[in-house]
């Protein structure tokens, strides 16, 4: 509308950028960004950093997803900053609504009871977590890609990324990459572990006793979940991991159990428990060299050979150094320390 343009006239002037080249990088990969129209400016800030730190040299494409149509204004101001092709998609209603087996009255009561937990009373947050757990990788706009890098509005990239993380992952045949790990809020996942144990009992053949990372999330007894998870607001991963029969069986099992709505299961613990069951440690990579901040929690490179002229972060404020991080435990995990789930199968 003419009004919207008038409101942003100074911005238009400030954005007189040169035309952007857009030859995509060598791997079939993209950024995937689920975002609301009102998050435009927070997202612009993140994309600008991602471009300046990395993508101005690689021009990977962007896929923007929303449960509502993007406004023209959103698309216009975002594409001023994206050096790769940008596509904008709407999430299909089936991927952002209640499945028929969910008792919506029970879901309302659960939300009221969780008023004291972060996002505990939010309905949309639950749809978001369920979408990121079970559906994003099925979106038609992602069909052509092998890897994705998840980005959120408001995150910061604090170091130059002088190499291509997608190529890094592909060359090493890596499946899942993270920057930050931590412990989940217990009140959001009261029955997630018991449901995961039931799933392993129902489908024992899906967990390879020699190729898993269960030792990161539980102990030999498999009794309890230690709440460790990869923080999924940053992920660089293979889409076919999520599209696999195993992962889909796990998601469907969780979805049937209803905890996305009756509790507040996050996509981070869901992705992480799936990685723990289905991936050996060697397929998971900690991008310790990527400077990244989400809601004041950050990863800042700590290696002795890091050139801090290329970073704006303080390595001493690395979340890795703090108690709730599980990355030290991840690093310490013995590569062959897969857990045998046969104990679960005894009556
Ligand atoms: P947090 O990281 O757990 O604090 O949750 P966020 O509010 O950052 O949400 C996670 C991601 O989902 C971000 O990329 C948000 O932009 C996006 N998101 C959250 N809720 C919605 C929603 O209702 N609609 C859309 N389109 N995106 C959402
Ligand atoms: Mn976030």
* C-alpha 154 to ligand 2 mean position (Å): 7
The answer to whether the CB of 146 is under 6 A from ligand 1 is no
Q: What is the pLDDT of residue 126?
A: 98
Pick the closest to residue 311 from 55, 45, 49 (CA basis): 49
* C-alpha 39 to ligand 1 mean position (Å): 9
Question: Cβ contacts of residue 333 below 8 Å, gap of 6+?
Answer: 213, 215, 216, 281
* DSSP-derived 3-state class of residue 60: coil
92-95, Cβ contacts within 8 angstroms, sequence gap of 24 or more: 92/139, 95/131, 95/134, 95/135, 95/138, 95/139
- Please give the number of the atom of ligand 1 that sits closest to the Cα of 127: 23
Q: How many CB atoms lie within 10 A of CB 311?
A: 18
Identify the residue whose C-alpha is closest to ligand 1 atom 15.
35
Identify the residue whose C-alpha is closest to ligand 1 atom 21.
128
Question: Cβ contacts of residue 295 below 8 Å, gap of 6+?
Answer: 154
Burial of 158 (0-12, 13-18, 19+ CB in 10 A): buried
The answer to whether the CB of 128 is under 6 A from ligand 1 is yes
CA 4 and chain centroid, separation: 33
Q: Which residue has the tokens 């046969």?
A: 342
Q: Are residues 254 and 265 in contact, defined by beta-carbon separation less than 8 angstroms?
A: yes
Active site residues: 235
Q: What is the pLDDT of residue 23?
A: 64
pTM, two decimal places: 0.93
CA angle 88, 91, 97 (to 5 degrees): 160
Strands 29-34 and 62-66: parallel
CA 307 and chain centroid, separation: 27
- Please give the number of the atom of ligand 1 that sits closest to the Cα of 66: 26
Q: What is the pLDDT of residue 7?
A: 58
What ranges in the chain are assigned the alpha helix state H?
2-7, 9-14, 40-50, 72-79, 104-113, 123-134, 165-171, 192-202, 239-242, 245-257, 259-262, 267-278, 327-332, 342-345
Please list the residues that pair with 101 across neighbouring strands: none
- Please give the number of the atom of ligand 1 that sits closest to the Cα of 294: 2
User: Nearest ligand to the C-alpha of residue 40?
Assistant: 1
CA distances from residue 91 to 96, 122, 252 in whole angstroms, order as listed: 7, 19, 18
CA angle 127, 297, 167 (to 5 degrees): 80
* C-alpha 129 to ligand 1 mean position (Å): 8
Kind plus residue range of the DSSP H or E element containing 147: strand 147-150
Both tokens assigned to 274: 């799936």
CA 88 and chain centroid, separation: 19
Pocket test for ligand 1, best of 31, 34, 292 (most atoms within 8 A of CB): 34
* C-alpha 41 to ligand 2 mean position (Å): 14
pLDDT in tens, the chain (347 residues): 444 444 566 666 555 554 445 566 789 999 999 999 999 999 999 999 999 999 999 999 999 999 999 999 999 999 999 999 999 999 999 999 999 999 999 999 999 999 999 999 999 999 999 999 999 999 999 999 999 999 999 999 999 999 999 999 999 999 999 999 999 999 999 999 999 999 999 999 999 999 999 999 999 999 999 999 999 999 999 999 999 999 999 999 999 999 999 999 999 999 999 999 999 999 999 999 999 999 999 999 998 888 999 999 999 888 888 889 999 999 999 887 799 999 898 87
Domains of the chain are: 24-345 (3.90.550.10)
- DSSP for residue 262: H
The answer to whether the CB of 36 is under 6 A from ligand 1 is yes
Alpha-carbon span 23 to 317, nearest angstrom: 36
* DSSP-derived 3-state class of residue 223: coil
Pocket test for ligand 1, best of 69, 74, 152 (most atoms within 8 A of CB): 152
């Amino acid at each position: 509308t003419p009004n919207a343009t008038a409101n942003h006239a100074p911005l238009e002037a400030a954005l007189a950028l040169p035309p952007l080249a857009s030859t995509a990088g060598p791997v079939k990969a993209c950024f995937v960004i689920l975002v609301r129209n009102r998050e435009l400016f927070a997202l612009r800030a993140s994309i600008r950093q991602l471009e300046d730190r990395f993508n101005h040299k690689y021009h990977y494409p962007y896929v923007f997803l929303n449960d509502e149509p993007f406004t023209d204004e959103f698309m216009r101001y975002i594409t001023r900053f994206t050096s790769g092709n940008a596509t904008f998609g709407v999430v299909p209603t089936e991927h952002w609504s209640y499945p028929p087996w969910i008792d919506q009255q029970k879901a309302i009561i659960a939300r009221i009871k969780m008023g004291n937990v972060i996002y505990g009373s939010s309905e949309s947050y639950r749809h978001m977590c369920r979408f990121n757990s079970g559906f994003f990788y099925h979106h038609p706009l992602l069909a052509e890609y092998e890897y994705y890098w998840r980005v959120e509005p408001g995150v910061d990239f604090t170091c130059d990324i002088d190499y291509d993380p997608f190529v890094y992952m592909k060359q090493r045949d890596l499946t899942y990459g993270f920057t930050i790990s931590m412990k989940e809020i217990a009140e959001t996942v009261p029955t997630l572990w018991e449901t995961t144990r039931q799933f392993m009992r129902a489908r024992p053949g899906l967990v390879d006793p020699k190729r898993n990372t269960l030792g990161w999330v539980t102990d030999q007894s498999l009794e309890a979940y230690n709440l460790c998870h990869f923080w999924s607001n940053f992920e660089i991963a293979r889409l076919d991991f999520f599209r696999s029969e195993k992962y889909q069986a796990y998601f469907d099992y969780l979805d049937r159990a209803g905890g996305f709505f009756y509790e507040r299961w996050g996509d981070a613990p869901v992705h992480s428990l799936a990685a723990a069951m289905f991936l050996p440690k060697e397929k998971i990579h900690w991008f310790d060299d990527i400077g990244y901040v989400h809601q004041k929690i950050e990863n800042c490179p700590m290696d002795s050979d890091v050139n801090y002229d290329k970073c704006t972060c303080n390595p001493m404020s690395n979340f890795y150094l703090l108690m709730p991080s599980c990355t030290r435990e991840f690093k310490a995990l013995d590569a062959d320390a897969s857990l045998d789930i046969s104990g679960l199968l005894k009556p």
